[in-house]
Amino acid sequence: MPTTHPGLLTDTEHGLTQAQDAQDAATVELAALKQKILDHGPDAVTAQELADAASQVEHAALATSHARNALEAAHQADRQQQLEALKDNILNTAGSPDEAVEAMRKLEEAAAYLIAMTSGRPQLIAQGTANMRRLAVPQATAGRAADGHAGLGWYDAGLGRSDGLLIDGRNITSLNPGILIAAAITRAARSQGYTTHHLAPALDINTPGGQAVDDPETYLRTRY
């Protein structure tokens, strides 16, 4: 859309003022000629002079109307420009629905991945423990698998932890996907300067343990 020149309104307003001044002057001149005829008789002013003065008034009036229309058009153009700028600002701030749909899709995929990868862990750990026991793999002690068993170990639940497996130093234990998802959403809210309370009542999150939020990589690497 064409941009209104910064001085367009001022110039147009000045043009209207000039046209009105010219109309006023022509009106005064015509009135003076009429009064001259009344005071001194018809011979004081010729018919042509009177006609010319009347024509000048009409011309000046039309010029004033034109200037007024031009000013109104300039105001409308300026208003339209402001409306377009407002619209652009609102749309840019609101963002694209396509981008929102894509973001929701990615969030859905990420949540589905975490749910899928953690939901089968209790069964995996139970079966893994049973198989290790069958193969005479001893229980891990102090978080370490016994030597001579291909880096394999297992341990029972206790002291605030669930059953788990050790594989070459990697700790595989049960995980609640809700904790991971809640931690990710909590971090997302914090990154935007919000708390999870801003998500209520649609989403009611009881913030999980500190490490899952503050250091998710360490939290996962010591459990995943």
Parallel, antiparallel, or unpaired: how do β-strands 164-167 and 152-155 relate? antiparallel
Final residue before a domain boundary, out of 39, 61, 94: 94
**Boundary of a domain, candidates 46, 77, 94:** 94
Summarised one tens digit per residue, pLDDT across range 136-193 is 999 999 889 999 999 999 999 877 678 999 999 999 999 999 999 999 999 999 999 9
DSSP string, 192-207: TT--GGGGTTTS----
Residue type, 143: G
Q: Is 164 exposed, middle or buried (0-12, 13-18, 19+ CB in 10 A)?
A: buried
Residue 111 lies in a domain: yes
64-92 burial: b if 16+ Cβ within 10 Å, else e: beebeebbeebeebeeeeeeeeeeeeeee
Give the chain's domain count: 2
pLDDT of residue 2: 40
- pLDDT, mean of residues 55-65: 95
Q: Which sign does the torsion angle of CA 136, 142, 147, 153 carry?
A: positive
Considering the domain boundaries, does residue 1 fall inside one?
no
Residue 161 pLDDT = 75
Q: How far apart, in whole angstroms, are the C-alpha atoms of residue 174 and residue 154? A: 13
Q: Residue 178 is which amino acid? A: G
In this structure, are residues 26 and 60 in contact, taking their beta carbons and an 8 Å threshold? yes
Are 165 and 129 in contact by the 8 Å Cβ rule? The answer is yes
> Would you say residue 40 has pLDDT above 90?
yes
Which of 37, 65, 94 is the last residue in one of the domains?
94
| pLDDT classification of 5: cutoffs 50, 70, 90 | low
pLDDT of residue 49 exceeding 70, the answer is yes
Statement to judge: residues 78 and 116 lie in one domain: no
* pLDDT at residue 123 tops 50: yes
User: What is the number of other CB atoms lying within 10 angstroms of the CB of residue 177?
Assistant: 17
> Where does the pLDDT of residue 209 fall: very low under 50, low under 70, confident under 90, or very high at 90 and above?
low
Phi then psi for 174, rounded to 5 degrees?
Answer: -70, 145
Q: What is the pTM (predicted TM-score) of this model?
A: 0.68
Residue 3 lies in a domain: no
Range of the domain at 71: 8-94
Describe the crossing of helices 47-94 and 8-40 by its angle, rounded to 10 degrees. 160
Residue 148 CA: distances (Å) to CA of 125, 137, 139, 164: 21, 9, 13, 19
